[in-house]
Amino acid sequence: MKTIIVSLITLALVISGMPALAMDGHTMKHGSSHDSGGAMAGHFKHQAMSDHIHSEFQIMSLASMNMTDAGGATHHVMVKLMDGQTQSEIKSAVGKVKVIAPDGKEQEGTLKNYGGVLAANFTFSQKGKYGIICLFKAEGKQHVVKFWYPHQG
């Protein structure tokens, strides 16, 4: 009986400490997924929390969307924002995205607001990990989300 109680207390302490382990500054990362086949081929998703703002990123090849870019960009970066407390969409945000290629070259783009979905196009010409840094202003505060996008080429 004593062993079971000690095991339950240990389990409770480990579980209660997990959110603290996941914190990265003010950003709690919820995870990423990469769809390499089927209807969603070429789509990458990442979710993060910055303060109380929940962000859902998608990176999609323009080719997978049957689209092209006049400037030659190859991918579309989108982010949708929600207030984590009220679960309501944030439609008045503004922001920028910086993309850092595996060789260190940087691209920066201003996010255009399409009725609550923020988006910009970029060129992903190399295989490897791209650093994605999104700075956005929502509800009067600035927020930053950073993550890696593993481009397959």
Q: Is the residue at 126 inside a domain? A: yes
Q: What is the pLDDT of residues 114-123, one digit of tens each?
A: 988 999 999 9
pLDDT at 137 over 50: yes
Q: What is the pLDDT of residues 75-108, one digit of tens each?
A: 999 999 999 889 999 999 999 999 999 999 999 9
Q: Is the residue at 99 inside a domain? A: yes
73 contacts 121 by C-beta, under 8 angstroms? yes
CA atoms of 78 and 76, how far apart (whole Å): 6
- pLDDT for residue 152: 86
pLDDT at 16 over 70: no
Q: Is the residue at 134 inside a domain? A: yes
138 contacts 53 by C-beta, under 8 angstroms? yes
Q: Is the residue at 89 inside a domain? A: yes
Tally of domains in the chain: 1
Residue whose C-alpha is closest to residue 119's, from 63, 67, 57: 57
153 contacts 130 by C-beta, under 8 angstroms? no
pLDDT at 136 over 50: yes
| Full 3-state SS string of the chain | CHHHHHHHHHHHHHHHHHHHHHEECCEEEEEEEEECCHHHCCEEEEEEEECCEEEEEEEEECHHHCCCCCCCCCEEEEEEEEECCCCCECCCCEEEEEEECCCCCEEEEECEEECCEEEEEECCCCCEEEEEEEEEEECCEEEEEEEEEEECC
Q: Is the residue at 16 inside a domain? A: no
Q: Label residue 119 exposed, middle or buried (CB < 10 Å: 0-12, 13-18, 19+).
A: middle
What rounded mean pLDDT belongs to the chain?
79
Where in the sequence is the domain holding 121, given as residue range(s)? 25-151
CATH number of the domain to which 136 belongs: 2.60.40.3340
Q: Is the residue at 50 inside a domain? A: yes
Q: Is the residue at 39 inside a domain? A: yes
Q: Is the residue at 65 inside a domain? A: yes
